[in-house]
């Protein structure tokens, strides 16, 4: 079974000076292309959560899903857009990934599915240099059945992903962080330099 995948690209990239982080170049490819190369073998169909003019992503050939909650409420709104889209596909779950993370695991979807909680929720995690488990909440497995609850929480002002996932008993699935954290994401020009070094 292949689960639908949703790439979260709805952020405003303020630390990068605005624009679409997914369209920045790393190793001769756009970040979004790196993400698609990793996600396409794992998930189908795929969709992109992004706000603004969808034409800038036309070459990807993917449905572009804007947030359904106004005011840029964050990644949870992208997850909700993905769940609404998946419901229309007749799917039970989606896997989400971030558009600015080019090295996430090639077995992400399978391991999230295998490790899911009774609620159907699972979040990816790695250990930092101090051995502390750190969740990566934009990389998750999300059940369509909870989309009404998520919509209500967002309308009530909830923005922090883990506050909602903890309330529903989400599982945490640990991935190895050696030789580097596969959930390393691009937030600054310095991060692009670091990603270039990892690609090479």
Task: Quote the mean pLDDT of the chain.
Answer: 93
Q: Mean pLDDT, to the nearest integer, of 96-121? A: 97
Minimum mean pLDDT among 14-23, 118-127, 154-163: which range?
A: 14-23
How far, CA to CA in Å, does 14 sit from each of 21, 109, 150, 188? Answer: 10, 29, 25, 9
Give pLDDT tens digits for 30-85.
999 999 999 999 999 999 999 999 999 999 999 999 999 988 899 999 999 999 99
- Which residues lie across from 172 on neighbouring strands? 123
Query: Which tokens go with 74?
Result: 């964050």
* pTM, full prediction: 0.94
Count Cβ atoms below 10 Å from residue 127 Cβ, excluding itself: 15
Average pLDDT over residues 170-195: 94
Q: How much is the pLDDT for 11?
A: 62
Percentage, residues of the chain above pLDDT 70: 96
What structural domains does the chain harbor? 3-199 (3.90.550.10)
Cβ neighbours around 25 below 10 Å, total: 12
Q: Contact 184/26 with Cβ under 8 angstroms? A: no
Structural tokens at position 162? 């883990």
pLDDT score of 48: 98
pLDDT in tens, 9-32: 976 554 445 668 889 999 999 999
DSSP state at residue 68:
S
pLDDT at 14: 47
CB 175 within 8 A of CB 124: yes
Sign of the torsion formed by the C-alpha atoms of 118, 127, 7 and 49: positive
113 pLDDT more than 60: yes
């Amino acid at each position: 079974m292949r689960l639908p995948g949703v790439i979260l690209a709805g952020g405003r990239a303020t630390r990068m000076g605005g624009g679409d982080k997914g369209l920045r170049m790393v190793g001769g490819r756009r970040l979004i292309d790196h993400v698609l190369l990793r996600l396409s073998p794992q998930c189908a169909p795929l969709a992109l959560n992004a706000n603004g003019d969808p034409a800038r992503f036309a070459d990807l050939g993917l449905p572009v899903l804007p947030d359904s909650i106004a005011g840029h409420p964050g990644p949870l709104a992208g997850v909700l857009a993905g769940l609404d889209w998946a419901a229309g596909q007749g799917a039970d779950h989606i896997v989400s990934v971030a558009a600015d993370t080019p090295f996430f695991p090639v077995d992400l979807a399978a391991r999230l599915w295998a490790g899911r909680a009774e609620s159907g929720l699972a979040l990816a995690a790695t250990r930092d240099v101090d051995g502390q488990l750190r969740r990566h909440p934009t990389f998750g497995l999300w059940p369509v059945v909870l989309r009404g609850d998520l919509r209500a929480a967002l309308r009530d002002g909830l923005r922090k992903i883990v506050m909602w996932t903890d309330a529903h008993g989400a599982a945490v699935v640990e991935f190895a962080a050696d030789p580097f954290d596969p959930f390393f994401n691009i937030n600054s020009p310095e991060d692009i330099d670091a990603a270039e070094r990892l690609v090479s």
